[in-house]
Amino acid sequence: MPKVLSFGDRIRPGRYALHSRFDRAVNFLQEGRLASLVAPEVGGGPVNIVLQGLDLSRLKSLEVRADGFVLDGAAFPKSPLFDSALPPRSGAEPRLPLLRELLLRKAHPKSLAFLLDESRRQALDSGFERVLAAQLQDAAEDLRAGDLETGARAAAGAGFGLTPSGDDLLAGFLWGLHERRRLCGGDFSRDIARVYAAACGIGSSAGPGRTDVLAAGARGANPLSAAFLDSAREGRFFERLRALLTGQSSLEEGLDAVLAVGETSGADTCVGVLLALEKEASLWS
């Protein structure tokens, strides 16, 4: 009998249509919103349903109700619920200089780790890779300088793969701003809103009340990237990244788990997190 190991706390009720299928995940969409049925090794997340003992290759339909969910006609409980929020600071958080050092040592050669160490650009050999690297280098410098809209617009959608590198970078940057607030205090809600709006192609004149409506149209191009950006804006973390940032496992084990996400997605996300934390000198001593 299949068993629910965790149900994402940001999955909305409704009838979902099959979007894409992979070895360890099946993605469903409902009005541009994502729900992912995943194998236990993928882990929990705000839009993940982790199931044990189920053949993911056969799944065709998903309906989420108030009291549970129905998968190909079989009913399941929405429990245990995955808590995707970060806990209060505990003192077990990783030392950022060591995290940066390990990331530069372990990240995929084609990842965005060159944004933290320019010498890594030597691994980019094709003309497209070099042009993309220059674009994302400019985007990172804009983000560092506080020109958040320009940086986010330049990074959004840049790259290739299931979730483009630029989108992973921006999701990481948003998650990093939430982590910065958790560790150091302060209010970064305006910065988060600026980055998210620019990443979704929403004009700066859009009021806060219109953001969700406009973003719903923008997310149609890549609902997987949109799910990461939505979660990052809300400060809702996937299990692997949350475990890394909160010290739930050893630093190296936690980083390895994040780096195993996609070919470069995990590394690109970590680069974004570190970019958002660079200005907090107290975290780097």
230 and 131, same structural domain?
yes
Q: Is residue 204 part of a domain?
A: yes
Q: pLDDT for 36-91, tens place per residue? A: 999 999 999 999 999 999 999 999 999 999 999 999 999 999 999 999 999 999 88
Q: Alpha carbon of 170 to those of 108, 123, 163, 197, 263: distances in Å?
A: 18, 22, 11, 11, 17
Q: Which of 82, 107, 139 is the last residue of a domain?
A: 82
Structurally, the chain folds into a number of domains equal to 2
Residues 57 and 143 in one domain: no
Same domain, 214 and 122: yes
**Which conformational region is residue 155 in: left (phi greater than 0), alpha (psi within -120 to 50 degrees), or beta?**
alpha
Do 51 and 135 belong to one domain?
no
In angstroms, the CA 282 to CA 285 distance is 6
Q: Helix 127-145 to helix 265-277 angle, to the nearest 10 degrees? A: 30
Residue 203 has a pLDDT of: 58
Banded pLDDT at 217 (limits 50, 70, 90): very low
pLDDT > 70 in the chain, percent: 93
Q: What is the mean pLDDT of residues 125-154?
A: 94
Give me the pLDDT at residue 61, please: 97
Indicate if 256 and 167 belong to the same structural domain: yes
Query: 105 and 63 in one domain?
Result: no
* Alpha-carbon span 278 to 154, nearest angstrom: 20
104 shares a domain with 78: no
Last residue of a domain, one of 60, 82, 104: 82
Shared domain check, 278 and 150: yes
Which range of residues forms the domain containing residue 203? 96-283
pTM of the model: 0.93
Tell me, yes or no, whether 35 lies in a domain. Answer: yes
Please confirm whether the linkage preceding 80 is cis (ω < 30° from 0): yes
Decide if 2 contacts 69 (C-beta within 8 A): no
Quickly state the pLDDT bin for 209 (edges 50, 70, 90). very low
